Structure 1
Amino acid sequence: MNILFLMIISPQIEANPNLYTELMEEFRDEGHEVYVAAIDEKKNGRQTRISMEKGIRILHIRTGNLFNVNPIEKGLTTLSLGGLFRKGLREYYSQVKFDLVMMPTPPITFAPAMDYIKKRDGAKAYLILRDIFPQNAKDLNLMNNELLFQFFRTKEKAMYKVSDFIGCMSQGNIDYVLRHNPEVDKSKLELLPNWSKFSPEEDKTDLKIDYKAKYGIEGKFVCIFGGNIGWPQELEFLLELVMAVKERKEIVFLIVGKGIMKPKIEKIIQTENLTNVYLRDYLPKEDYDGLVAQCDVGLINLDRRFTIPNIPSKTTGYFKAGIPILASIDANTDYGKILDEAKAGLWSVTGDLETYKKNLLYFMEHPEETKQMGRNGKNYLKEYLSVTKAYNTIMRHFNG
């Protein structure tokens, strides 16, 4: 089969693998021809072009600027993506007949490109639903204009309509989509949890480098957060936990990442003189993966205002590393149920500082149970969240 992925970010299959590049490689390894169409912002100064990486053809489509720009420019670029992608596919992939076109959210404006390939080639369209936009933006008070909200809701509904199959992260996601979009045929929706590639080599725990020592946190009980520091994470509440245990000198928090809320987090750390938290922009991938595996707890944080069920993708990274999860989540997600099912961590609702602190101290005071939770997460990943399982879920629609 010829498979087309529509992506908001050009994949760096070698340098920066993620769940989508792993799925691309799984399709390739199963004998399919894999094609990608992805944006290339005009600020990069490049024209539309095709490259090849690890046997996968990538069409880099020149678009407007989307990241780290003002909201108006970002909005205009977002709205233009469907047309620009349709044009790029027509010009560069005209000789390819696609069998399946896949699109993860965000964004929600690729529907015209999906529809074009469906009609041109008779392809099936598979939506990998991750962010539920625009409701997530409304929850965080980032979209208060009702006309604008309804406009994007129309785009969201068009995306559901053009999709033949919709893979959702959790049962809560499925229930949410059906509850708020009763016109969607429920047979379209299926469970497609976040996945990860896991090789036998990654099961080894005998790392030759002491990463805690390398980064000056040896002998400490380390809680690590890695990823976007933005509105959805509400890391201000994590800092409340940091303050609540600052007398416990053996506990440190390591935050690795960038994002729009990072300056605010830095200011709170400085103002409160929090010496038990370390903030870093970036670590080399090998160092980050090795450090996570040697940390004691992986942190998951979600803003209390969310009304949609979010399932943070960094969970699979913690599971792969074999460390338990300490989660602070909104009341509307079913993430806690998944964590309980895996027996891989403890959770509380964002805002409940007493339970949050209690859960952290439980990890401190029960080292054997804590290690077992880490092992449980790794086993859960192997059994239920492998990239092969995700591939099979998608391909069952085409196998007989």
Structure 2
Amino acid sequence: MKKIVFLALGFPDVAKYTNLYTDLIHEFHHNGHDVLVVAPAENAKDTGLRLEGGVKVIRVATLPLFNVGIIKKGIANILLSSQYKKALKQHHITLDFDLVLMPTPPITLTKTAHWIKKKSGAKLYLILRDIFPQNAVDLKMLNSKGLIHAYFRKKEIELYNVADSIGCMSPANVNYIKKHNPGLNPAKLHLLPNWENLPNYSEESNADELTTKYGIKDKFVVIFGGNIGKPQKMENIIDLAKSCLDYPTIVFFIIGTGTEKQMLIDLVKNENLTNVILEDKIPKTDYNKLLLHADVGLISLSEDFTIPNFPSKVLSYFGNKKPVLASVDLNTDFGTILEETNSGLWAEAGKTQLLKEKLVQLYNNPDLRSKMGENGYQYMKENLQPNHAYATIIAETK
């Protein structure tokens, strides 16, 4: 048994909903490890040490970290490390951990992670899910020659050097970190693909009721669920929807919130796109059931990225046996992985006509959709579950 501390950014209360990090931490918990999570509080009354699903969690008061401007977000992230350190001291946590787990984002928790590592003699395992600050440069949110970029780049290098092991999402991620950090020991780097529990199909789906409720009954549903921000470049999806008005049964069902949601609402309204349905967050049970009855799962990444991203939302599509349609940049290997697993089709982001051709190919071929959906499911079952991530981390931190 190991004593583990997880320094989290996005860690919901499992009584409300789950994500890849709650799934991973509960895998550690179920395997008998003693786990403590340090994470932001949703509001002031939720601060303090408590049990959530049997796992100890310290909820820390922070400045707003999500759906705020780049300056406010930057300040909140810079303050996070000292806030976490203070919380650990306030709750008299004994620093005798065997393992420190830390994901990106953020990269600003390095100081606290290093402090725990030195005090405990622990190993530090970095779950690399965001290559920052370069992603902000790609999206023109930071100037690559500016002082802010220099500050965060220094923090990034420091984090890689302090970490004992670094788990990367895909082979392209590994190669990118090697290429752009030549002073880093490459032995630290290895594959840690995204993970998610397979869905439970035992509940009644109430298909007619749900599809009627959301206005998608008797439609060919292309579904998108998740964050709506600059990385997703939803303008490309709007262009696709506009090009598909000649297919009246195809609808684009987009669910989520984010910094670009109002822009998306305005685009749909201005273009009078009757084939786009927008929802904010919907009940997780509704989303899972709707996925079962959707026809295609949609992925979108900005063509401006120079870093290789791997979208975690694809796991929900794989788990529900949905073929994937992806609009992605050429620096990610996500499209290649779709090809290798024969689980979906993709086109270079911004090439609307080619993306439409791929969608029409799926639209006209139910057997292809079924085959690709089953391939994605099997790939996830064999490679992309929490127990696989758990086993990798344990093996790398012996």
TM-score class normalised by the smaller sequence? over 0.9
CA distance in 2, matches of 1:398, 1:9: 23
Residue aligning to 1:390:
389
Residue aligning to 1:182:
182
1:270 aligns with 2:261: no
Residue aligning to 2:286:
287
Residue aligning to 2:306:
307
Residue aligning to 1:98:
97
Moved more, 265-274 or 67-76: 67-76
> Cα distance, 1:398 vs. partner?
4.5
CA deviation vs aligned residue, 1:42-87 (integer Å, no higher than 9, x gap): xx33485111111101011222332344443322221121222222
Confirm or deny: 8 A CA contact 2:5 2:99 kept in the other structure.
yes
Residue aligning to 2:7:
6
Distance 1:246 1:149, change over 3 A: same
3-state SS of 2:13 partner? coil
3-state SS of 1:396 partner? helix
CA distance in 2, matches of 1:68, 1:398: 35
Distance 1:55 1:205, change over 3 A: closer
Confirm or deny: 8 A CA contact 2:104 2:128 kept in the other structure.
yes
Residue aligning to 2:117:
118
CA distance in 1, matches of 2:70, 2:296: 36
CA distance in 2, matches of 1:205, 1:380: 24
How many residue pairs end up in the alignment? 395
- TM-score, scaled to structure 2: 0.95
Confirm or deny: 8 A CA contact 2:5 2:35 kept in the other structure.
yes
The share of aligned pairs that are identical, in percent, is 44
Distance 1:375 1:205, change over 3 A: farther
Q: Where do 1:1-400 residues align within 5 Å? A: 1-40=2-41, 44-46=43-45, 48-144=47-143, 146-198=146-198, 201-202=200-201, 207-210=205-208, 211-399=210-398
Confirm or deny: 8 A CA contact 2:347 2:355 kept in the other structure.
yes
Moved more, 334-343 or 65-74: 65-74
Residue type at the aligned position of 1:394: I
Confirm or deny: 8 A CA contact 1:4 1:102 kept in the other structure.
yes
- TM-score, scaled to structure 1: 0.95
Distance 1:382 1:232, change over 3 A: same
Structure 1, unpaired ranges of 5+: none
Confirm or deny: 8 A CA contact 2:303 2:349 kept in the other structure.
yes
CA distance in 1, matches of 2:109, 2:93: 18
CA distance in 1, matches of 2:198, 2:223: 21
CA distance in 2, matches of 1:275, 1:318: 24
3-state SS of 2:102 partner? strand
CA distance in 2, matches of 1:205, 1:15: 18
CA distance in 2, matches of 1:205, 1:370: 24
Residue type at the aligned position of 1:178: K
CA distance in 2, matches of 1:134, 1:338: 25
Moved more, 58-67 or 118-127: 58-67
Moved more, 283-292 or 82-91: 82-91
Confirm or deny: 8 A CA contact 2:11 2:22 kept in the other structure.
no
Say what the alpha-carbon RMSD is for the aligned residues. Answer: 1.7
